[in-house]
Homo-oligomer: A and B are copies of this chain.
Amino acid sequence: MNNDIAMPHTAMIGSTLYKEVKRGILAALAGGEWKAGEAIPAERKLGERFGVSIGTLRKAIDELVAENILIRHQGRGTFVATHARDHHYFRFFRVVRQDGYKTYPTVALERFRKAKASREACEKLGLGTGARVFQFTNRLMLDDDIVMLDEITLPEALFAGLTEADLRDRPTTLYNLYQDVFGLNVIRTDERLRAGLAEGDSARLLGVPAGTPLIELRRIAFSYHDQPVEWRISRLNTEKYEYLVSEAGA
């Protein structure tokens, strides 16, 4: 076989061909060349563009699919993953009823304001002290039970022009709004859980007595290149519901 074609590629420093291709695709995605929900070019076309064989290109795409960044549909094409379609609406929503039944939450916007970021929010979002942010609180219902309270912080720099109406009237999920309106794709989250107690505000909004045990959840949501785009503290009432972690499945 002719190695004049294969050899120069492997000479690329500190990497492999398919990783380079993956990086190239990721760069095109981050650069907005293909938007959420759109199809990317066919495998053969992309293979030509990057100057690699179809097998190598597929390996790059394989990894992006495994990371839920792209979605393949046989016979249709390969698409940029969307939080709205693709029926993984609630990849990051892990609350289920104690009998295992899954339902979709109803969301009510409780508060909305512009403010300066707290010290903790600055740290988690990688912002300079005093950076402007949007802060709002959502109340989540499942089966007519108030289950969770989300206190969400978004950098104003990334969500320029966000209004209370955007949040109140949105027809889809929050992360779909980030995607469609602001071009920010949440592809990974980091969540840390502690035990806590309902008090004052949170007790009132959750409709439970002060002192009720709650799960206190801190989440950072990331876009491409590990860019943090959202910081939230949630409080979960587990009287009827549970937080589910299923690990290393087929």
Using a CB–CB cutoff of 8 Å, the interface residues on chain A facing chain B are 63, 66-68, 91-92, 94, 96, 98, 187-197, 213-215, 236-238, 242-250
Contacts and interface: CB of A to CB of B under 8 A. Distances in A.
Contact of A246 (B190, B194, B238): B190
Q: How many copies of the shown chain assemble into the complex?
A: 2
A70 to B, nearest CB: 13
21 contacts: A66-B66, A68-B248, A91-B248, A92-B247, A188-B246, A188-B248, A188-B249, A189-B247, A190-B245, A190-B247, A192-B242, A192-B243, A192-B244, A193-B193, A194-B215, A195-B195, A195-B213, A195-B214, A195-B236, A213-B213, A245-B245
The winner among A190, A213, A249 for most chain B CB atoms within 10 A is A213
Given A68-B248, A191-B244, A248-B188, A197 B215 contact: no
Contacts of A191: 244-247
Given A247-B92, A248-B188, A213 B238 contact: no
